[in-house]
Amino acid sequence: MEMKLLKHISILLIVLSTSLVSAQVTFEAKLSKKKLGINERLRIDFEMNKDGDNFNPPDFAGFNVVGGPNQAVSTSWMNGKRTYKKTYSYFLSPKKRGSFTLKQATIEIDGNVYKTTPQTVVVTSAVDRPNDDNNPDAIAANSIHLVAEVSKNKPYLNEAITVVYKLYVAPNTGVRNWREIDNPRFNDFWSQNIDIKNLKVQNGTYKGEDYRYVVLRKTVLYPQKTGKLEIEPLSLDITVEVPTNRRDIFGARLMTQAHRTVSAGSRTIDVKPLPMEGKPTDFTGAVGDFEFNVITSKSELNASESLQATVEVKGKGNLRLFQTPKLNLPSSLEVYEPEHSENVVTNLGGMQGSISDSYTIVPQYKGKYPIPTISFSYFDLKTETYKRISSGEIIINVLEGPTNTTASDNNIANVNSGKQPVVVSDQQFAFIKTDANFQSVNPNHFFKTTGFWTSLLLPLLAIPLAIVVRKKKQVRDADVLGNKTRKADKLAKRYLGEAKKALGNKEAFYVALEKALHNYLKAKLQIETSEMSKDRIETLLLEREVDKEVVMEFDEILENCELARYTPITNVEMQQDYSKAAKTISAIDKQIK
């Protein structure tokens, strides 16, 4: 009896010890921090206290893996008890701001599948962080700086300011490549990016120390609201080459790569309202330095002929952000809706050029018609006062035509803002000839000649050919997919024509390729170059039902255009980029809705 009891106790202890060992298996995900700035790195460790197989990490949605997996195993003995720990470590870089959930990782241990608990991470805008001079990331942090230089902190409403983004690099540091991860949206501003065709490395100083720098972006802004406005930061993900303490056989210091996210930081400007004192009643928001003219193409003409009257504003200022004055014309003149035109360029000084409204005017009666003087007012930034420019009165002299019996005795038409319908003159068809001048033809010159038989038989011979052509056309029209493919391929070749001509010339090729891609997007998505951020392009293409893989390929080509101009590229690689661009444009054109 006692032996039987001991047997049962032994079995029970074995079961309990097995359960205890099983219960002690742990598999956890540990974060270095749960809230970080977009310019920081996140470390996640997957720890287990017993070795396992088939480790599967999560997909790290919202992050780029910049390091890992690094594997570490440690074993220790304490008081006769063995402790085991195995760790898989990853280093992550956030792609954008927001709240992200890192899903479960899995591993098999002793035939059982263990899962980690999902972890939530909040990514904020760029923040300052402490430095550690003992690792490459800290060296990169001290060697790379992105600076936003704002031309004016207290502009007037609708006054141009510029934001120049400069990347400063320490002399002993190299930059492998970079990409934009957080673009400023410039809310409450009219914005225009200025194209930078070639990045030029220059020498300068940053906080009193010698640096090299390159101007990455130039943007002109016109504030559209008063008060304190925020200019959001630009953030870049950069691969940096930094020196190490190791040296080669010649004594030169070896370099290692580190990933660094830099941000220009947000800037706040205080926009002043335009003064109310002296503000003209007809002021429409023009701010700058302008000239104003009213020009007519002719001063004398006959009734039913036309002339052009152009109201033009030219100079420097917010030319695209206000309206030109309207002409006030006599009612006896037929006036058509004006044609608006702009000849404006934007540089670091803001908009320069001219805008105009061109009116087509058709007088119907004989007489003299005045175009009264009109004025244009604007706010002059130099004197900080309002100015007014007036045009002179212009007389239109209609020499010939019917007489307007309702006009005054002095034959000067009264000014009225209404329009007079065109009156059709009874002499409108006076110059159409009514007498024919026919000549007889001798039939013997043509009958039974080669030309006669050809003209007779050619239509009959053309009938079978027309039937064959029509059948081929029907087959081709029925091939919807084929037609769409041919159209897409033709479109890709048209946009990439200039790039193909420049194959072999790296600089010209990638400039032409990037321009072709931008022009294609402008045509397909109806967006301007200033709106072409990576996120904006991805959103619009995905909304138009383009496959995500195709969108990612398009993004990669745009990134190649930026980076390839500053790295060695072979003719073979250029040909590959060209073929990839043509294939991607064709794919987008087939899929876009």
Model confidence pLDDT, tens digit, residues 467-501: 777 777 766 666 555 555 555 456 556 667 777 87
The verdict on residue 381 lying in a domain is yes
The CATH number linked to 87 is 2.60.40.10
The verdict on residue 428 lying in a domain is no
Residue 427 amino acid letter: Q
Pull the structure tokens for residue 574. Answer: 């250029």
Together in a domain, 172 and 247 = yes
The verdict on residue 335 lying in a domain is yes
The verdict on residue 442 lying in a domain is no
The verdict on residue 467 lying in a domain is no
Together in a domain, 48 and 118 = yes
Q: Among the three residues 124, 159, 188, which one is the final residue of a domain in this structure?
A: 124
SS3 content of the chain, % helix, strand, coil (to 5): 25, 40, 35
Q: Of 225, 218, 99, 100, which Cα lies nearest the Cα of 157?
A: 225
pLDDT score of 436: 56
Together in a domain, 491 and 515 = yes
Residues with pLDDT less than 50, the chain: 15-22, 130-134, 408-431, 488
Cα–Cα distance for residue pair 21/104, rounded to 1 Å: 23
Q: Among the three residues 124, 147, 166, which one is the final residue of a domain in this structure?
A: 124
Together in a domain, 158 and 242 = yes
Together in a domain, 164 and 191 = yes
pLDDT score of 421: 44
The verdict on residue 57 lying in a domain is yes
The verdict on residue 452 lying in a domain is no
| Residues 261/237, Cβ–Cβ less than 8 Å | yes
Cα–Cα distance for residue pair 502/581, rounded to 1 Å: 14
Together in a domain, 118 and 145 = no
Together in a domain, 148 and 245 = yes
pLDDT score of 415: 46
Could you list the residue range(s) of the whole structural domain that residue 500 is in?
A: 480-591
pLDDT score of 85: 83
pLDDT score of 16: 46
- How far are the Cα atoms of 190, 333, 334, 401 from residue 423, in angstroms, in the given order? 46, 11, 10, 11
Together in a domain, 235 and 256 = yes
Together in a domain, 250 and 153 = yes
Together in a domain, 213 and 115 = no
Cα–Cα distance for residue pair 317/340, rounded to 1 Å: 18
Q: Quick check: helix, strand or coil at residue 339? A: strand
Could you tell me the end-to-end alpha-carbon distance of the chain, in angstroms, rounded to an integer?
85
pLDDT score of 545: 83
- How far are the Cα atoms of 222, 466, 570 from residue 459, in angstroms, in the given order? 67, 10, 58
pLDDT score of 244: 65
pLDDT score of 351: 95
Together in a domain, 72 and 161 = no
Q: Of 593, 587, 582, which Cα lies nearest the Cα of 525?
A: 593
Q: What is the mean pLDDT of the chain?
A: 79
The CATH number linked to 328 is 2.60.40
Stated pTM of the model: 0.49
Report how many domains make up the chain: 4
pLDDT score of 213: 93
pLDDT score of 137: 64
pLDDT score of 223: 95
pLDDT score of 357: 94
pLDDT score of 387: 95
pLDDT score of 427: 47
The verdict on residue 14 lying in a domain is no
Together in a domain, 155 and 107 = no
Sheet holding 235-247, edge to edge: 174-182, 235-247, 253-263
The CATH number linked to 566 is 1.20.120
